[in-house]
Chain A
Amino acid sequence: MKIDYIFYLLIFPGLLFISILGLLIGWVDRKVSARFQFRVGPPLFQNFNDFFKLLGKETMLVKEGVITIFIIAPFIAFAMIVLVSSIIGTSLFYNNSFGGDLIVVMYLLMINSVMIILGGSSTGNVYSSLGAGREIKLLLADELAFILICLVPIIKSGFQLQLDGIVSSQLQNGSYIGSLSGFIAFVVGLLCIQAKMALPPFHIPEAETEIVEGPFMEYSGTLLAFWKLNGFMLYVTFPFLLILLFWGGFNPEGPGIIWFILKYLLIVLLIIVIKNTNPRIRIDTALNFFWKYASVIALLAVVLAVFGY
């Protein structure tokens, strides 16, 4: 039994699968973004080259910083993303939950931000501290709306918390995105994951031109390689979670796999389009946007779901 879990974790749908798919989707992102800017864009394996090249580079550590936290932060975030992806992927592809339910996944997903904050601010660099402060505010901004949208599938599935239960319920009764509450929650969810991945217009914590990558400023070599990899892996984790919660999961019968790939690519494409068509907003604007608009709309979705719409 444990061997199965290790397979899920390390091979499919875990580490190997999401890291390769993440790096490839990262290429799609870079290529499409380049086309938006009338550039040619990088070759297919550029992200792989970047990752392995960074692994071979010198790692710099800050003398006065809390070095242990600085080193382990990217790997804790990495392990968490692999673990959550395995839990989500196993529910999607095997219709079999293990380890944790939706509440566990929601809490585990916060660890990525926590590690960015701890790792960044462990150095004592002023830009990193500024970025860390922004990162936690961004987490707060999107978390309220994210909690609300996660409640919609729980309500619609008859208060199921287990991920496979939510998938099964949709396979029997149709995707939640087909209902009004499900559609609203999906749209808000898309914006939430944009913020959770800190992609434009929500790349406020990193803000290269302003605070020089913020929490990642002091990272280099292997450690930076893993932060980059983590970012690409999230391109898989969050869209998969959205498909699981709202868009019927994965149906292995008939053309199910084709539909699944199309759904995934459409979500990624939407993320890339939003990313390339919006300038960076300020953190207070992000807070206002999520708390005063997105969360209210998401609350409406919750109320609609309670009344069966």
Chain B
Amino acid sequence: MEINFLVMLIIIPLVVSIINFILPRNLQKLFTLAGIGYSIYIVYILYTQKAESASFFGSIILSVDKLGLLTLSFIQLLSFIILIFSLKGLDKEIEREYFILYPLTVAFCNGVILSINSISFMIFWGLSGLTLYLLGLLGKTSDTPKTIKKTFILIGGSDAFLIMGFVLLAYLNPTINWSLNNSQLPLNSLSAYISFFFLLIAAFTKAGGFPFHTWVPDFSKDAPVESAAFLPASLDKFLGIFLLAKIVTGYFNIDFSINLIIISLGALTVITAVMMAMNQHNGKKLLGYHAVSQVGYMIMGVGSGNVLAFAGGLFHMINHTIYKSCLFLSFGSVEKKTGTSELDDLGGLGKKMPVTFTCSLIAAFSISGIPPFNGFFSKWMIYQGLFNQVKEISSLEKILLLICIILALFGSALTLASFMKFIHAVYLGKRISTFDKITEAPFNQLFSNSILAFLCISFGLLSLQIPLSIFIYPALTEMNLIIPDFIGLYNPTLILFLFGIAFIVGISFFLFSPKIRYDNVYLGGSLPEEKFRIAGTEFYNEIRNMKPLKSIYDWADKKYFDLYEVGTKGTFKLSDLFQKAHPGQLQLYLLYVVAGLLIFLLLI
């Protein structure tokens, strides 16, 4: 019997998960590693051979295109790297459950990407949400149950929108028979619009786009760091953006006004999330807000309707998962060593954990879009695509799009600022004396972080040669999209080469310095006591207290912008109203009956 690799890509991790139920812990780890390793091999095979599909019940259920292959490749790669991190250092109490859920999540995510049928897509999508819930439950903070309930309600709610969107899509396009081919449905009826926006809500919620993002920061704070790096930072981004890419290029044929709405939502996501991130005191929550903020760039790129920005958006999706996993994992190493994720309680660990610090710094530069790291290249592509787009639209649309570009550009500066605070609070500044005996993270964690940091650099320097040429451009070609020339100019290898020369010239002066002396910090004669320590979390108090931002921050603290909280309060208010309307008095009920009868008579 011929092996169908598409089915294998779901079956292998699924089987690993089931067998992990009975295996002892060490074997569980090895078995999971082997299973994910084999999945990587299958993706490689899929790249080299002709596309195939798998049919069940008489219709094609699984198939893969180049966009799917791109996503699958990085799902397996990131899963493998994060798995290596999880091998040692995971809380012993949750190890068994973790290694059962981990391959299960990979199987379901693979299922989503491979599904060409909307029913199987919905099933796998829902199941991936369920494993997200279960992986989150492994968290140990006091807020974990509340946060995970919130995540489950938001993600579950978005699943309902996904189902309604797909049902409407199938209703509007009966010939496709639940198949998810590129139907290119024009948005010319209310049902089509509703279907489009329902699917958009599902994609936004999964990826963490504004205003459905609120579960991401809370989940990042209260779930184990491995789960946070694995799902909201990596796999959920792939699923959400994959769906968004399919919606805007395959399922629907949209005009520029819709593109503009998506771009605006993307820009809003960038700026609101990063403004929130700046004032966080918890490291994991700060990273969670950045995981939301970066989705904004992907949404802007993928939803722009411009090929260059679309490619940039996909590239940013890959880049984001790399640097964000690195940031989460390296901070995870710090959390495991120090026992806290509160930025106020950390500091000065750069000397004690130099490799973790370096990886974190590289990832922080990448996310802030510092050339020549990978985050810059994808952002640069998105900007160029948007500038290309600006040329061909009316003046008012131009102004709106330019404002979006400005917000995205400024979002980078804010991201940089936020990470300077983060780096200062964790690795620089004065170290608390209790951390004097801290040592570097275990080898497996350093290995994972180093690989991710290496990818940040290599994808930045060889953007055209590796990620774009091997993964992204073939996907665009298959979608019949013609890749335009860059309007700007950026040569990362030349920049690094020349920068290197100038740096060597500079530092050689230091190497020939006459004398070097080591001494304590100088505080004008005062002793460097801990009470004078600057944690760094207070850096942006001036911005926090600035008018009118103060009011907005206060409202955000009161959760006025959190759809979940607002929805919860609204539901309770409504039920309270109903409760008051039913006091148990017979006369009142009789009145309701009469009033209802009157309304009924009036209506007919």
Contacts and interface: CB of A to CB of B under 8 A. Distances in A.
A79 B424 contact: no
Interface in B352-374: 354, 357, 368-371
Contacts of A260: none
B423 interface: yes
A225 B490 CA distance: 31
B34 interface: no
A3 B562 CA distance: 57
A262 interface: no
A151 B406 contact: yes
B312 to A, nearest CB: 12
Contacts of B380: 103-104
A288 B545 CA distance: 11
Interface stretch (B35-43, B284-292, B428-436, B584-592): B428-436
B391 interface: yes
A117 B540 CA distance: 14
Interface in B312-351: 348, 350-351
Interface in B399-432: 399, 402, 405-406, 409-410, 412-414, 416-417, 420-421, 423-424, 427-431
A253 interface: no
Contacts of B513: 55, 59, 221-222
B169 to A, nearest CB: 36
B507 A72 contact: yes
B501 A10 contact: yes
Nearest to B416: A110
A296 interface: no
B384 interface: yes
B540 A137 contact: yes
B376 A107 contact: yes
Interface stretch (B102-110, B185-193, B520-528): B520-528
Nearest to B500: A79
Contact of A108 (B350, B371, B416): B371
Most buried by A among B498, B533, B536: B498
A15 interface: yes
Given A58-B515, A62-B521, A151-B406, A97 B350 contact: no
A124 B521 contact: yes
B560 interface: no
B92 interface: no
Given A62-B521, A212-B524, A158 B391 contact: yes
A80 to B, nearest CB: 7
A75 B424 contact: no
A212 B521 CA distance: 13
A83 B371 CA distance: 12
A218 B521 contact: yes
Contacts of A299: 406
A126 B420 contact: no
B519 A58 contact: no
A154 B488 CA distance: 11
Interface string B487-529: 1111100110111111101110110011111111111100010
Nearest to A76: B503
Contact of A161 (B387, B417, B517, B539): B387
Interface residues of B, number: 82
A273 interface: no
A90 to B, nearest CB: 11
A124 B412 CA distance: 27
B416 A114 contact: yes
A121 interface: yes
Nearest to A63: B518
Given A59-B516, A126-B533, A99 B522 contact: no
B485 interface: no
B348 to A, nearest CB: 6
B510 A147 contact: no
A99 B521 contact: no
B495 A104 contact: yes
Interface stretch (A33-41, A127-135, A172-180, A185-193): A127-135
B516 A287 contact: no
B417 A66 contact: no
A60 B519 CA distance: 7
A10 B505 contact: yes
A284 B543 CA distance: 8
Contacts of B543: 137, 140, 287
Given A59-B510, A79-B506, A136-B420, A126 B523 contact: yes
A111 B370 contact: yes
A58 B387 contact: no
Judged by DSSP, the binding face of A is helix
B346 to A, nearest CB: 13
Interface string B429-463: 11100000000000000000000000000000000
A47 interface: no
A269 interface: no
A58 B424 contact: no
Most buried by B among A74, A103, A159: A103
A61 B519 CA distance: 6
Interface string A276-309: 0000000110011001000000010011001100
Nearest to B513: A222
Given A5-B494, A79-B503, A99-B489, A287 B350 contact: no
Nearest to A81: B502
A306 B402 contact: yes
A143 B410 contact: yes
Interface string B550-576: 000000000000000000000000000
A15 B502 contact: yes
Contacts of A125: 430, 521-523, 528
Nearest to A155: B402
A79 B499 contact: yes
Contacts of A123: 521
Given A75-B510, A161-B387, A283 B542 contact: yes
Interface in A1-60: 2, 5-6, 9-10, 14-15, 55-60
A121 B489 CA distance: 34
Contacts of A287: 542-543, 546
Contact of A307 (B369, B395, B505): B395
Interface in A70-120: 71-72, 74-76, 78-80, 82-83, 86, 97-104, 106-108, 110-111, 114, 117-118
Contact of A101 (B357, B412, B417, B490): B490
Contact of B420 (A61, A72, A132, A143): A132
A171 interface: no
Contacts of B494: 5, 98-99
Contacts of A169: none
Contacts of B409: 103, 106, 147
Contacts of A283: 542
A58 B517 contact: yes
Contact of B406 (A78, A97, A148, A159): A148
A78 B508 CA distance: 12
B534 interface: yes
Nearest to A164: B489
Given A60-B517, A80-B502, 20 more contacts: A6-B498, A14-B502, A68-B354, A72-B503, A79-B502, A79-B505, A106-B409, A110-B416, A121-B428, A122-B428, A129-B536, A133-B421, A133-B539, A136-B417, A158-B391, A221-B513, A226-B510, A287-B542, A288-B546, A306-B402
- 7 tightest Cβ-Cβ pairs between the two chains A and B: A79-B502, A129-B534, A161-B488, A101-B488, A75-B506, A79-B503, A66-B350
16 contacts: A15-B502, A60-B519, A66-B357, A75-B503, A99-B498, A107-B412, A117-B424, A118-B420, A122-B428, A124-B528, A127-B523, A129-B424, A136-B417, A136-B421, A155-B402, A287-B543
Interface of A: 2, 5-6, 9-10, 14-15, 55-69, 71-72, 74-76, 78-80, 82-83, 86, 97-104, 106-108, 110-111, 114, 117-118, 121-127, 129-130, 132-133, 136-137, 139-140, 143-144, 147-148, 151, 154-155, 158-162, 212, 217-218, 221-223, 225-226, 283-284, 287-288, 291, 299, 302-303, 306-307
